[in-house]
Amino acid sequence: MGLNDIKDRIAEAERLAERPAGAVQLIAVSKVQPNARVEAVLREGHRLFGENYVQEAQGKWPDWRAAYPGCKVHMIGPLQSNKAKLACELFDAIHTLDRASLARKLANQAQAQGRCPALFVQVNTGREPQKAGVLPEDLDGFLTQARGMDLPVEGLMCIPPEAEDAAPHFEALAQMAGRNGLAGLSMGMSSDFEAAIAAGATHIRVGSAIFGARDYGTA
């Protein structure tokens, strides 16, 4: 695996789905990866990355943004409300808007900072109790609320249950986005991004297939 293999597979999946070349944006998920691996991908010219932890992103990306112009960094991990300010400063997009209290914090920050990252609402398509995300039946109401706060909601995001076929979850998310007039669909990871592209993903989040396995360490 590696960046070029993944790009080839994306192009092939776009072709099979009869979607235009370049319809899908590849978010290279660099969380927990050694700096050398991320820098290798930066040197290959890739500029769109995903991070899960605000603190980790804060430690790495200001320098890399300066060294490699044009970088975009998307927050794809759960966001605590007390990190909303920092997240608005650090990220170009946040894929994990999942509750009204966070929406309010982000709206306040948008006011204060005069800008707001692009937002994706996370949907708990598998209705898993331990997983974040708005429940499907609450989504339309939540979107009305978020739009009432002038938040720039551009799409939906999901993480299907690990033990299930992901395709029906991707298709359900695409339907929810369609009926709400949202163009963005953040779905698909290393193991299932081709199915996500077939279902209409606009943003896929691929980590280990580009960088190798994450080592969370044992210490």
Ligand X SMILES: *Cc1c(COP(=O)(O)O)cnc(C)c1O
Q: Identify the residue among 24, 28, 42, 52 touching ligand X (CB under 6 A).
A: 52
Q: What is d(CA 183, CA 144) in angstroms, rounded to the nearest whole number? A: 16
First to last CA, the chain: 28
| Site mask for ligand X (CB under 6 A), range 116-145, x = bound | ------------------------------
Q: Is-contact 166 192, C-beta < 8 A?
A: yes
Q: Identify the residue among 77, 117, 155, 160 touching ligand X (CB under 6 A).
A: 77
3-state DSSP assignment of residue 168: helix
Q: Identify the residue among 73, 97, 153, 189 touching ligand X (CB under 6 A).
A: 189
Q: Is-contact 88 102, C-beta < 8 A?
A: no
Under the binding rule (CB under 6 A), the answer on residue 159 touching ligand X is yes
Stretch that binds ligand X, among 100-108, 112-120, 162-170, 206-214 (CB under 6 A): 206-214
Q: What is d(CA 162, CA 32) in angstroms, rounded to the nearest whole number? A: 20
Structure tokens at 19: 């979607």
Q: What is d(CA 95, CA 83) in angstroms, rounded to the nearest whole number? A: 14
Q: Identify the residue among 58, 108, 145, 208 touching ligand X (CB under 6 A).
A: 208
Residue 104 vs 214, nearer CB to ligand X: 214
Owner of token pair 């695996």: 1
Q: Identify the residue among 28, 76, 102, 153 touching ligand X (CB under 6 A).
A: 76
Minimal distance, residue 78 CB to ligand X, in Å: 9
Residue 79 vs 151, nearer CB to ligand X: 79
Q: What is d(CA 138, CA 207) in angstroms, rounded to the nearest whole number? A: 30
Chain residue whose CB lies nearest ligand X: 207
Under the binding rule (CB under 6 A), the answer on residue 30 touching ligand X is no
Q: What is d(CA 89, CA 65) in angstroms, rounded to the nearest whole number? A: 13
Which residues of this protein are in contact with ligand X, per CB under 6 A?
A: 29, 31, 52, 76-77, 159, 189-190, 205-209
